[in-house]
Amino acid sequence: MAKLELLIHNKNGNTDAHVFTKEQAQSVARFHRTIPGYSPTPLVALSNLASSLNVGAFYVKDESKRFDLNAFKVLGGSYCACQVLAEKLQGELDQMSFKDFLLYKQALGDVTFVTATDGNHGRGIAWTANKLRQKAVVYMPSGSSQERLENIRALGADADIVPYNYDGAVALAAKHAEEFGWTFVQDTAWEGYEKIPTWIMQGYMTMGLEAVQQLGDVRPTHIFLQAGVGAMAGALAAFFSDYYRDDPPVITIVEPNIADCVFRTAQTGRLQTIEGDLPTIMAGLACGTPCSVGWEMLDRFASAFVRMDDCVAAKGMRVLGAPMGSDPRVIAGESGAAGVGCAVEILQNEKFAEYKQSLGLNENSRILCISTEGDTDRAMYQKIVHEGLYPCFD
């Protein structure tokens, strides 16, 4: 398997950002600001890295600082859970704040949210349910990290590792929601199940809005977004393209080569599913079927798709963990560092000069990546960053 493969995508010509516009992002962010403890995550400029790669600028948004959850996913989980509760109260979330759902707890009664997760989404749902004095049930695919399971249990959720892959865990959560009258809150969409995942995707836009506000007058020319099911990447690709409508950035979608369902979908133009186990260190990206709503957005707004080896993500972790000169340090987990690893590898490795050229990367480029998680599996972080596991040779 190639270490890194890039596919240029012909956007389908539709430039409608659907429900992922700047205005919608502002409404979502207003709601997030009502959550106690909210503050924007940092956007760091890695100037020495940019010089060494011979590009104009290299920015990284650090989602390890998102509340106390070490990952971005709670933005989607909290927004969607509160949309569900607002609907139960026949209210408009636009007019409400997070604490309203505690005030109206009696009217809401007991709600159980159920979901499947590699870790981050389930932790966000468990955290939200816990804060709102509601319940969460979380299923994790086989091979999930014990530390990630314990983090979810520590938030009071009923969490277990089940003997299925990610898609199997999703099917189990859907089945139990039906059987037990729970509310199924999954971070991926398919035909007939779009409303909740669309809310989750909208929740992710707060990250994009914060980033453009932090960048101010600086417009990124290239954005690298990692994809599991492609919900986050789809929402943000639409948001950034809408926000910078007059001169949209070149957006590249990054996946593990073992879990390349979005790449294969781009190749064929039809949603593709990968069966069986998906053994990659990028646990958050180990998904077998793209999110239908996410893919719709990526088809409109993504310029390229990449599938790559685990070692490239590991390189991203090391680049961020051992910064050059006065560049700030970012602690990034395996899925979190995928976009950075991809950008650095394309810029640094002569073998990929052709990809660099086809993306139009040069000394004037201003790159934006999102480090979507911190060290959510600390034992693995140490092995990769301190001990050099998954070396990234040619």
Ligand X SMILES: Cc1ncc(COP(=O)(O)O)c(C=O)c1O
Catalytic residue numbers, as ranges: 73, 118
Measured CA to CA, the distance from residue 278 to residue 285 in angstroms comes to 9
Provide, rounded to whole angstroms, the least separation between the CB of residue 290 and ligand X.
Answer: 8
Q: Which CB, 209 or 293, lies closer to ligand X?
A: 293
Binder among 21, 24, 41, 120 for ligand X (CB under 6 A): 120
* Residue 226 found at the interface with ligand X (CB under 6 A): yes
Q: From the CB of residue 19, how many other CB atoms can be counted at a distance below 10 Å?
A: 16
Binder among 40, 124, 228, 341 for ligand X (CB under 6 A): 228
* Residue 151 found at the interface with ligand X (CB under 6 A): no
* Residue 206 found at the interface with ligand X (CB under 6 A): no
Q: Which CB, 187 or 327, lies closer to ligand X?
A: 187
Measured CA to CA, the distance from residue 226 to residue 95 in angstroms comes to 33
Binder among 121, 131, 222, 318 for ligand X (CB under 6 A): 121
87 Cβ contact list (under 8 Å, min separation 6): none
Q: Which CB, 227 or 343, lies closer to ligand X?
A: 227
- With CB under 6 A as the rule, give the number of residues binding ligand X: 21
Binding region for ligand X (CB under 6 A) out of 123-131, 136-144, 221-229, 315-323: 221-229
Measured CA to CA, the distance from residue 380 to residue 221 in angstroms comes to 33
- The CA radius of gyration of the chain, in Å to the nearest whole number, is 20
Measured CA to CA, the distance from residue 278 to residue 80 in angstroms comes to 27
* Residue 186 found at the interface with ligand X (CB under 6 A): no
295 Cβ contact list (under 8 Å, min separation 6): 230, 234, 262, 265, 271
Q: Which CB, 198 or 335, lies closer to ligand X?
A: 335
3-state secondary structure of 371: strand
* 99-118 footprint of ligand X as x/- string (CB under 6 A): -------------------x
* 10-49 footprint of ligand X as x/- string (CB under 6 A): ----------------------------------------
* Residue 284 found at the interface with ligand X (CB under 6 A): yes
- The backbone torsions φ and ψ at residue 142, rounded to the nearest 5 degrees and listed phi first, read -60, 145
* Residue 288 found at the interface with ligand X (CB under 6 A): no
* 229-268 footprint of ligand X as x/- string (CB under 6 A): xxxxx-----------------------------------
Closest CA to 152 of 132, 128, 170: 128
* Residue 73 found at the interface with ligand X (CB under 6 A): yes
CB contact at 8 A, 49 and 347 = no
Binding region for ligand X (CB under 6 A) out of 25-33, 178-186, 227-235, 315-323: 227-235
* Residue 285 found at the interface with ligand X (CB under 6 A): yes
Task: Give the C-alpha distances (Å, rounded to integers) separating 264 from 6, 7, 91, 312, 340.
Answer: 12, 10, 41, 19, 22
Q: Which CB, 129 or 298, lies closer to ligand X?
A: 298
231 Cβ contact list (under 8 Å, min separation 6): 76, 187, 188, 189, 197, 200, 201, 204, 291, 293, 294
Q: Which CB, 230 or 288, lies closer to ligand X?
A: 230
3-state secondary structure of 55: coil
* 351-390 footprint of ligand X as x/- string (CB under 6 A): ---------------------xx-----------------
Binding region for ligand X (CB under 6 A) out of 40-48, 131-139, 281-289, 316-324: 281-289
- Minimal CB distance residue for ligand X: 284
Measured CA to CA, the distance from residue 284 to residue 307 in angstroms comes to 15
3-state secondary structure of 222: strand
* Residue 336 found at the interface with ligand X (CB under 6 A): yes
Measured CA to CA, the distance from residue 133 to residue 35 in angstroms comes to 14
Closest CA to 207 of 72, 115, 113, 302: 72
Report the interface residues with ligand X, using CB under 6 A. 71, 73, 118, 120-121, 187, 226-233, 284-285, 287, 335-336, 372-373
